[in-house]
């Protein structure tokens, strides 16, 4: 399978030659026992993980962390580091600036008491950023209406201390409910009292090797009832639309709880556009990502937002939400880095199945710097949206359904944004989130995934990984255990093929004519196929 974008292809974790297996892959290959962690325990020896590709505009600040799992302490080294960059040898954080456009590849090494490993990092300086699907955490399904600087920084530290950051989870995104009134030198949205110092917060997030994200809307009022990126007047005074103070759920929730903004006429772009000054404020604070949320997403407002972000003086990833009309997929996929292809996801099978069934038509539009977003992972312990949560409940998705979501999002090259409580991360959830070979499928792009089979409630998707390798995902949307057979001729692959079970991180054997895979109800399996002899 050939590359659609060879010059932008990401590296692959498992590029070392796979062995030519003497054993045949079992037929059928058995479905795993439900509820088990399939990912092996983390090796104490250092291993380089994805992403290993980073994009920045000329002269923009660069911050990129070398993602390496293994026992700490660990030391990092880089040979032929491009001028303008420096590497922190204890943390693996690369910072600096590069003014000249081009592709800069250099070897890095990670070592600890158990050994050392090395690989290549590529930094591409040009007009494209967000060259791999974003990975990180969002506050919406956890702290939600009670999001604060304290719990954002707590989560940032947990991403590092739990080890998730070593597998590429780098964004710490504030969703709705952070906003206060307009003010400051830009007359931009200022934070409410739960965020006493946005700049200090971003600085601490960056010091951990992570990136900071924020939320807004071009509407006058957001879904949760806070002020947005446009205003009824040049002063940024929303009092003509706002509820009386004694009727607001929170002091700065001017329009009340959802659907308050709609009821008060604030869910529209106001006569005065103020995203321009908001973008300057976000850049000054140090944000790296913004989610702009409104409906219907349209091209003119999106172009205006993208222009404001580019003029802000900082590389800021633009994510638009929600329910992008498919009719504008072409222009939207050129303007934005991430676009929501759906409404809000929920942690039950009906929601997951509906979203998964709608993603195929979007695949031709995804590519480095521009990613389809089927919404957040419903994995782990979650809160109630819109509430100031202090306790969390396990997701309602079954273990098989969680494997389904993580596998499907990975082969679709979708952003891997979690929103769970990280303080009580159980072993099963950690195994789902920290499988380096599954993540590599998500972060590697040589072309979009393609559905090659759909029958008996089952689908088979294939994604190219390089000239001889591909990922193949088997998905069962039905309520019964199924066995799926796929001939190599349908995959347009030569015989034989060596097969690796990516969730178990073990070699499954060789196939010569077909793959025959058993699937649990609502379950999935994910494999690597290699035809190299």
Helices (H), 275-325: 275-285, 299-310
* pLDDT confidence of residue 77: 98
Name the DSSP letter for residue 24. Answer: B
Structure tokens at 193: 């009292």
Contact criterion met (CB below 8 Å) for 311 and 338: no
The whole-angstrom separation of Cα 46 and Cα 163 is 13
- 21 contact partners, CB below 8 Å, separation of at least 6: 498, 499, 507, 509, 510
Please state which CATH class domain 6-39+448-530 belongs to.
mainly beta
On the CB side of 49, how many CA atoms lie within 13 Å of its CA? 27
Structure tokens at 234: 């040049």
Pairing of strands 211-216, 188-191: unpaired
Q: Give which of 96, 121, 94, 168 is closest to 11, Cα–Cα.
A: 121
- The domain limits of the chain are 6-39+448-530, 52-125, 135-434
Pairing of strands 393-394, 416-418: unpaired
| E strand or H helix that includes residue 112 | strand 102-112
Contact criterion met (CB below 8 Å) for 90 and 100: no
Give the N- to C-terminal CA distance of the chain in Å, as an integer: 16
Contact criterion met (CB below 8 Å) for 290 and 215: yes
Angle at the Cα of 329 (from 288 to 231), degrees rounded to 5?
Answer: 55
* pLDDT confidence of residue 96: 98
The whole-angstrom separation of Cα 110 and Cα 66 is 9
- 121 contact partners, CB below 8 Å, separation of at least 6: 52, 53, 54, 64, 66, 78, 94, 105, 106, 107, 108
The whole-angstrom separation of Cα 295 and Cα 212 is 24
Structure tokens at 318: 């633009």
* pLDDT confidence of residue 22: 63
* pLDDT confidence of residue 501: 98
DSSP string, 217-228: -SBSB-TTS-B-
Q: Is the bond leading into 355 cis (omega within 30 degrees of zero)?
A: no
The whole-angstrom separation of Cα 440 and Cα 19 is 19
Taking phi over 0 as left and psi of -120 to 50 as alpha, with beta for the rest, 523 belongs to beta
| E strand or H helix that includes residue 293 | strand 289-293
Helices (H), 139-208: 149-161, 198-207
The whole-angstrom separation of Cα 435 and Cα 183 is 45
Name the DSSP letter for residue 422. Answer: S
Burial 75-91 (b: 16+ CB within 10 A, else e): ebbbeebbeebebeeeb
Structure tokens at 159: 């991403």
The whole-angstrom separation of Cα 152 and Cα 21 is 47
The whole-angstrom separation of Cα 88 and Cα 95 is 8
Angle at the Cα of 384 (from 382 to 390), degrees rounded to 5?
Answer: 75
The whole-angstrom separation of Cα 310 and Cα 336 is 11
Please state which CATH class domain 52-125 belongs to.
mainly beta
Contact criterion met (CB below 8 Å) for 371 and 341: no
Q: Give which of 372, 444, 377 is closest to 414, Cα–Cα.
A: 372
What is the chain's pLDDT, residue by residue, as a tens digit (533 residues)? 333 233 344 444 444 445 555 699 999 999 999 999 999 999 999 999 999 999 999 999 999 999 999 999 999 999 999 999 999 999 999 999 999 999 999 999 999 999 999 999 999 999 999 999 999 999 999 999 999 999 999 999 999 999 999 999 999 999 999 999 999 999 999 999 999 999 999 999 999 999 999 999 999 999 999 999 999 999 999 999 999 999 999 999 999 999 999 999 999 999 999 999 999 999 999 999 999 999 999 999 999 999 999 999 999 999 999 999 999 999 999 999 999 999 999 999 999 999 999 999 999 999 999 999 999 999 999 999 999 999 999 999 999 999 999 999 999 999 999 999 999 999 999 999 999 999 999 999 999 999 999 999 999 999 999 888 999 999 999 999 999 999 999 999 999 999 999 999 999 999 999 999 999 999 999 999 999 76
The whole-angstrom separation of Cα 441 and Cα 449 is 11
Torsion, Cα 422 423 427 433, to 10 degrees, reads 10
Burial 379-414 (b: 16+ CB within 10 A, else e): bbbbbebbebbeebebbebbbbbbbbbbbbbbbbbb
The whole-angstrom separation of Cα 436 and Cα 456 is 31
Instruction: Identify the bridge partners of residue 63 per DSSP, sorted by sequence position.
Output: 95
The whole-angstrom separation of Cα 232 and Cα 474 is 51
Say whether 135-434 and 6-39+448-530 share the same fold: no
Structure tokens at 63: 């911050």
The whole-angstrom separation of Cα 351 and Cα 377 is 12
- 455 contact partners, CB below 8 Å, separation of at least 6: 484
Helix or strand or coil: residue 22?
coil
* pLDDT confidence of residue 467: 80
Report, at the CATH architecture level, how domain 135-434 is classified. Answer: Alpha-Beta Barrel (3.20)
Structure tokens at 320: 């638009």
């Amino acid at each position: 399978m050939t590359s659609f974008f060879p010059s932008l292809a990401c590296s692959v974790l498992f590029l070392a030659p796979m062995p030519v297996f003497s054993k045949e892959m079992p037929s059928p290959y058995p479905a795993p026992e439900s509820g088990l962690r399939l990912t092996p325990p983390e090796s104490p020896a250092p291993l380089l993980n994805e992403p290993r590709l980073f994009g920045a505009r000329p002269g923009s600040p660069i911050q990129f962390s070398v993602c390496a799992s293994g026992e700490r302490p660990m030391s990092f080294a880089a040979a032929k580091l491009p001028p303008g960059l420096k590497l922190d040898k204890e943390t693996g954080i690369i910072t600096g600036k590069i003014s000249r456009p081009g592709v800069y590849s250099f070897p890095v090494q990670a070592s600890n008491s158990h050994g050392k490993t090395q690989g290549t990092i590529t930094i591409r300086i040009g007009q494209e950023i967000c060259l791999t699907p974003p990975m990180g955490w969002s506050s919406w399904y956890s702290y939600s209406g009670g999001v604060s600087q304290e719990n954002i920084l707590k989560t940032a530290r947990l991403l590092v201390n739990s080890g998730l950051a070593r597998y590429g989870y780098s964004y710490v995104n504030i969703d709705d409910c952070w906003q206060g009134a307009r003010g400051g030198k830009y007359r931009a949205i200022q934070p409410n009292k739960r965020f006493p110092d946005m700049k200090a917060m971003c600085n601490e997030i960056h010091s951990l090797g992570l990136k900071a994200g924020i939320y807004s809307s071009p509407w006058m009022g957001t879904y949760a009832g806070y002020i947005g990126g446009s205003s009824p007047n040049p002063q940024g005074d929303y009092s003509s639309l706002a509820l009386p103070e004694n009727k607001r759920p929170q002091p700065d929730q001017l329009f009340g709880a959802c659907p308050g903004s709609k009821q008060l006429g604030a869910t529209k772009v106001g006569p005065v556009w103020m995203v321009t000054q908001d973008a300057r404020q976000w850049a000054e604070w140090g944000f790296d990502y913004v989610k702009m949320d409104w409906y219907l997403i349209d091209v003119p407002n999106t172009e205006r937002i993208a222009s404001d972000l580019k003029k802000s003086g900082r590389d800021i990833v633009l994510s638009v939400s929600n329910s992008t009309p498919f009719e504008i997929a072409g222009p939207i996929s050129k303007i934005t880095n991430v676009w929501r292809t759906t409404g809000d996801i929920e942690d039950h099978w009906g929601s997951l199945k509906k979203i998964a069934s709608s993603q195929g038509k979007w695949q031709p539009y995804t590519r480095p710097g521009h990613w389809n977003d089927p919404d957040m992972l419903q994995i782990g312990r979650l809160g109630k949206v819109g509430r100031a949560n202090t306790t969390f409940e396990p997701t309602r998705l079954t273990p098989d359904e969680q494997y389904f979501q993580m596998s499907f999002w990975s082969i679709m090259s979708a952003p891997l944004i979690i929103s769970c409580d990280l303080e009580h991360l159980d072993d099963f959830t950690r195994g789902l989130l920290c499988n380096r070979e599954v993540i590599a499928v998500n972060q590697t792009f040589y072309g979009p995934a393609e559905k090659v089979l759909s029958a008996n409630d089952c689908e088979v998707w294939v994604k190219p990984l390089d000239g001889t390798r591909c990922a193949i995902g088997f998905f069962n949307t039905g309520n019964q255990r199924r066995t799926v057979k796929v001939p190599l001729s349908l995959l347009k692959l030569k015989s034989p093929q060596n097969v690796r079970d990516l969730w178990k991180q073990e070699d499954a054997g060789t196939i010569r004519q077909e793959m025959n895979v058993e699937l649990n109800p609502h379950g999935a399996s994910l494999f690597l196929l290699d035809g190299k002899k």
